[in-house]
Amino acid sequence: MTGARYSHRVIRSAIIPVAGLGTRLLPATKSQPKEMLPVARKPIVQYVVEELAANGVHDMLFVTGRNKASIENHFDSDPELFRALDATNKTELLQEVLFEELNANFFYTRQRQQQGLGDAVLCGENFAGEQPFVVALGDSILGLHARSKAVARMADLFEARHASCVVAVEEVPPEETSHYGIVQIADGTDDCMRVLNLVEKPAPEDAPSNLAIAGRYVFSPLVFDLIRRVKPDRKGEIQLTDAIQLMCEEGKRVLAVKLTGEERRYDIGNFPSYFETFVEFALADPLYGEAFRKTLQRLVGG
């Protein structure tokens, strides 16, 4: 410890909200969570878990809802499957479904009503306790095959600058600001920008910039009190962005880290971007990618 309030290892827990209804992906999400939709060979949420573990975050709380039991099942051990794979000497497959090398502890709680992302994070208050923690949205993959070290960079910055919050941001086309939380930046470099204000899903003419919050956050536990002070929006939802705005208004240090090109956020929230993400990941598959490329070329007549 070199005077930092928290040693790096203290930021080893993450809250992963996975309670959203996924209505933009119906009927695929009628009875299965959108976080369990496959992207190439793995469900989306597995990429999120692997990314967190690779960034030194090993205690993970899923904030789930109705119809989300398959997430728990996915990360649980399955003795029948184990026996079947073992008996047929499918040891490689066995490794892929054990998740042991992740060294991860999984916890689950339910958000009982759809009251927004801020409320979902509040469900993790007892889990986080007095320690800083990561929030990683369960429907957002960072980087091709989740090879992003953004969370570790954010955790380092959080400690080094004694921040109250660090958010990941990326540029979006100006006409898309109404899909994201948008930040207003004072100064800084891509690795460390001071955030002055945040607005949740502003119309392009009201957006303070084209830098969108990209699904990863590091928080001091003081965020919980601020979430409790946020008033519900028009849809009755408590927005996490509004709690961070309160932090800014109180003069707390809120910083942003810009994602690099290689760790862009893959948005799974709608069909066009889900299709694109699936194809990009499948093309990069070490085993099947090359053959799939040829299939695609044939299909598009190239």
Nearer to ligand G1P, 106 or 180 (CB): 180
Nearer to ligand G1P, 85 or 230 (CB): 230
> In this structure, what DSSP letter does residue 259 have?
P
The tokens of 49 are what?
């878990």
Does 219 bind ligand G1P (CB under 6 A)? Our answer is: no
Does 119 bind ligand G1P (CB under 6 A)? Our answer is: no
Using CB under 6 A as the binding criterion, the count of chain residues that bind ligand G1P stands at: 13
Query: What is the C-alpha to C-alpha distance for residues 165 and 222, in angstroms, rounded to an integer?
Result: 10
Query: What is the C-alpha to C-alpha distance for residues 164 and 287, in angstroms, rounded to an integer?
Result: 43
Does 210 bind ligand G1P (CB under 6 A)? Our answer is: no
Query: What is the C-alpha to C-alpha distance for residues 37 and 228, in angstroms, rounded to an integer?
Result: 32
- Give residue 180's region: left, alpha or beta (phi > 0; psi -120 to 50): beta
CB within 8 Å of 2: residues ≥ 6 apart: none
Q: How far is the CB of 178 from ligand G1P (least distance, A)?
A: 10
CB 159, CB 151: distance < 8 Å = no
Q: Cα 12 to chain center, whole Å? A: 15
Does 140 bind ligand G1P (CB under 6 A)? Our answer is: yes
In this structure, the number of other CB atoms found within 10 A of the CB of residue 77 comes to 10
Does 232 bind ligand G1P (CB under 6 A)? Our answer is: no
Binding string, 29-68, against ligand G1P, x = CB under 6 A? Answer: ----------------------------------------
Which residue is closest to ligand G1P by CB? 181
Binding segment for ligand G1P among 25-33, 119-127, 207-215, 274-282 (CB under 6 A)?
Answer: 207-215
Q: Which residues of this chain interact with ligand G1P, rule CB under 6 A?
A: 117, 137, 140, 180-181, 200, 212-215, 240-241, 269
